[in-house]
A and B are shown apart, each in its own frame.
Chain A
């Protein structure tokens, strides 16, 4: 596996060496089996010489599982506490790092719309993986998921009819274009790319779990550089900033994994 990781870095500039090994190894083994590679040498050759296959490789070894309004209590805090506070600003800039296929971006957009803040907001939704971003930009999700998402939405404090946000089209639900109008989907690699703006809210949920501690330190510093004073940083349910050097400048909101950058 270490050979593959150094190939990816040399050949394509994708650096996975700071990723947690157990998960990465499982993903690579899974793909190896799925694509019925004949040998390691053949697998490696394909990754290095077939650009289409390389894209598939990156897509398959990164985890792109996500849902709308996942962890409803988190989205309730966004709705009730964080976004109303940011609503007092003339303009709201949000960075959703590791947005995958976009379910969270649309969730946030729905809340902003209901709070009447969407018109003055901009959501930068980024991922290292261009393929998932293309999917995200289509604003279409499986109809079979809508029951679950609707339940999550209601638990998160939503009071509208969730189905009013999409049009059913056979097995797909197409979300309203208005929701997408304030989302910019763009590639950004947390491992190698720099800060590109200043934000009042950065969300990066269930991405750091795939990184080792060193890389987590680095990425948290990147978020710190990209966050305005009094801005908010939101992580996944099992993630924390407690071990990192930025922790002194942040105050956690009760119960949820949301920290506010305090004035120094």
Chain B
């Protein structure tokens, strides 16, 4: 299996529950960063970070702009900014137009990460009710990264992973219970 340099998870409606079940299962010594982009209302940043932090021994933090991306850390995209990955392995933020009615847009993070990490990138798209993330997964595939979706049958809102399945060649379809093991095995 290819080396994993970054594991990125995108989700919308119905994805928080998946994250809360997934995070406790991830090994504390995971040798790559986990980056989470989920759609939510503007202004509840620390709440989400605290909530996710309570479920894992890993450091969970909201991204600061120009921050170095460090292995073994769970990063959360701040609300109301797009999150981009730079070539020098840092984050940058962008307040440009919403994409798919969303900011942060999963597409933006997937697409910029795809160019940086190429075949060493894994992107997982969870439950959600719009098609954000689908174009992002296309880029990931184009640059040789791995495309993953939550099994639509297990998703509270199947539309988002189902759209991805329809439009992109998906490498792995994961049930909620399988995600933790899958991630740990990439180490």
Contact = CB atoms under 8 A, between A and B. Distances in A.
Contacts of B96: 23, 26-27, 63, 65
A23 B94 contact: yes
Query: Which of B78, B87, B95, B111 is packed against the most chain A CB atoms within 10 Å?
Result: B95
A3 interface: no
A22 B112 contact: yes
B112 A213 contact: no
A63 B95 contact: yes
Interface residues on B, range: 10 to 19
A32 interface: no
A91 to B, nearest CB: 32
B17 interface: no
A65 B87 CA distance: 25
Given A63-B95, A209-B94, A22 B64 contact: no
Contacts of B143: none
A23 B97 CA distance: 12
A20 B86 contact: yes
B81 A23 contact: no
Interface in A199-225: 206, 208-210, 212-213, 216
Interface residues on A, range: 20 to 34
Contacts of B82: 23
Contacts of A236: 95
A107 interface: no
Contacts of B97: 65
B93 A21 contact: no
A36 interface: no
A239 interface: yes
Interface in A15-34: 20-23, 26-27
Contacts of B108: 26
Contacts of B95: 63, 65, 206, 209, 236
B112 A209 contact: no
A129 to B, nearest CB: 14
A187 interface: no
A238 B78 CA distance: 8
A67 B85 CA distance: 26
A23 B92 contact: yes
A63 B97 CA distance: 8
B65 interface: yes
Interface string B62-102: 00111000000000001001101111000011111100000
Contact of B93 (A26, A27, A65, A238): A238
A237 B62 CA distance: 12
Given A63-B94, A65-B95, A210-B94, A22 B66 contact: no
B172 to A, nearest CB: 26
Given A23-B92, A23-B94, A239 B65 contact: yes
A22 B85 contact: yes
A186 interface: no
B86 A21 contact: yes
B84 A23 contact: yes
A22 B84 contact: yes
Interface string B123-165: 0000000000000000000000000000000000000000000
B81 A238 contact: yes
B80 to A, nearest CB: 8
Contacts of A20: 66, 84, 86, 92
A216 B64 CA distance: 14
Nearest to B111: A26
B94 A238 contact: no
Interface of A: 20-23, 26-27, 63, 65, 206, 208-210, 212-213, 216, 236-240
8 contacts: A22-B85, A23-B84, A23-B94, A23-B96, A65-B96, A212-B66, A216-B66, A238-B93
Q: Which A-B residue pairs are the 9 nearest by beta carbons?
A: A22-B84, A20-B92, A23-B94, A63-B96, A22-B112, A209-B93, A206-B95, A209-B65, A22-B86
